[in-house]
Amino acid sequence: MGQPVPDSRSPFALTPEILCARYSARVYRFAAMVAANSHDAEDLAQTALERAIRALERFDPRRGDVEGWLWRIVANAAGDARRDARRRRLLVDLLVRRVDMLVHQAPPETADEMLLAAVRRLPSRQRAVIALRYGADLDLRTVGATLGVSVAGTSMLIRRALDRLRAELSQQEKQP
Amino acid sequence: MTDIEARLRDMDLRPPGDLQARALAAAASPLARPGRRLLPVMLAAILTALLAGYAALAFTSGPPAAAAGASGYGVGEGCWFVKDANGLHFHIGGWYHGLPALCTSERRDPAAGR
């Protein structure tokens, strides 16, 4: 996998092992929020880390920091995974009509599971900003740069997503 | 920070223990090029197209039964496929206009001594 890459954030060179150790937890949190289920989240996190490791040789700290570079790769991997999932779903729908006959998913029980399910039902753009902001724990500027949106636009997207989540969760709490 | 933001930050989402090892192993393995996966499919498609083209040409431009005269075309005289009342048969044959010939009739002359 070549020579270690200098990291502007620390005096230590960035190797695949350091990249994984430093970012895998946050990459997984992001993946868990944008993916349809935990199985897809694991696949996405692995794919995103794999792509980042493969691209490590091409990373140039003079063109930007690791965070911006890494999360663009992760967000692109998520976009590709979403398109693949849509194609698979279309194919399965075509063949068996009802996907839930094949894939039984247990209904959410805990507060965290209900919240995660609500995040996963958000429109893809809102889901991405929520996952980058609260899953990957990025600041507004980096979230916006990753998605190609201004800081003000990012802030508005997050506010709308949070409003939607609040409304959905309060509706669920009212139901018996 | 609002209540929902705190809940999102505190969600218990731990990665599987072997995620790092899996990612490192996957990155260390050679990348499967999409082109390589497509190659057999493309070859099969080309072969199918060639066969379909041949079949179309053979059926449309092969020697018609009427042109064969009273005796028809004989096995071994340019017919790889012979279609008669019993169906389509395969024979080692010859060429017709540069293509393996498909004959639509078969010589019935017993004097041919097949």
The nearest CA of chain B is from the CA of A64 a distance in Å of 23
Angle, alpha carbons B19-B21-B23 (nearest 5°): 65
**Interchain pair A16, B24: CB under 8 A:** yes
**Interchain pair A42, B20: CB under 8 A:** no
The whole-angstrom separation of Cα A76 and Cα B99 is 51
Q: Report helix, strand or coil for B14.
A: coil
Complex-level ipTM:
0.77
Task: Name B96's bridge partners.
Answer: B99
Interface test with B, best of A27, A58, A80, A134 (most B CBs within 10 A): A134
How confident is the model over B69-110, as pLDDT tens digits? 444 454 445 555 655 566 666 655 555 555 665 554 544 444
What amino acid occupies position B52? A
Residues from chain B contacting residue A165 (CB–CB below 8 Å): 4
Average pLDDT (A84-101) is 64
Phi, psi (5° rounding) for residue B103? Answer: -95, 145
The model's pTM: 0.64
Tell me the residues of chain B between 13 and 72 that have a Cβ less than 8 Å away from chain A.
13-16, 19-20, 22-24, 26-28, 31
Residues from chain A contacting residue B22 (CB–CB below 8 Å): 46
Q: Report helix, strand or coil for B60.
A: helix
Beta strand B87-90 with B99-100 is unpaired
Judge residue B107's burial from the number of C-beta atoms within 10 Å of its C-beta, 0-12 exposed, 13-18 middle, 19 or more buried: buried
**Which pLDDT score, from 0 to 100, does residue A144 have?**
93
Q: Nearest CB to A166: which of B4, B11, B23?
A: B4
Residues from chain A contacting residue B30 (CB–CB below 8 Å): none
Burial A41-50 (b: 16+ CB within 10 A, else e): bbbbbbbbbb
How confident is the model over B8-59, as pLDDT tens digits? 999 989 999 999 999 999 998 877 666 667 788 889 999 999 888 877 766 6
Q: Poorest-confidence range of A30-44, A76-90, A115-129, B23-37?
A: B23-37
**Which pLDDT score, from 0 to 100, does residue B97 have?**
56
The nearest CA of chain B is from the CA of A8 a distance in Å of 22
Q: What is the dihedral of CA B9, B15, B21, B27, to 10 degrees?
A: -60
Q: Which residues of A touch B (CB under 8 A)?
A: 1, 16-17, 20-21, 24-25, 27-29, 32-33, 42, 45-47, 49-50, 53-54, 111-112, 115-116, 119, 130, 134-135, 137, 162, 165-166, 169
Q: Poorest-confidence range of A3-12, A28-37, A57-66?
A: A3-12
How confident is the model over A10-54, as pLDDT tens digits? 445 789 999 999 999 999 999 999 998 888 899 999 999 999 999
Confidence category of residue A139, pLDDT binned at 50, 70, 90: very high
**Interchain pair A116, B22: CB under 8 A:** no
Residues from chain A contacting residue B28 (CB–CB below 8 Å): 1
The nearest CA of chain B is from the CA of A101 a distance in Å of 27
Spatial CA neighbour of A40 closest among A103, A94, A91: A103
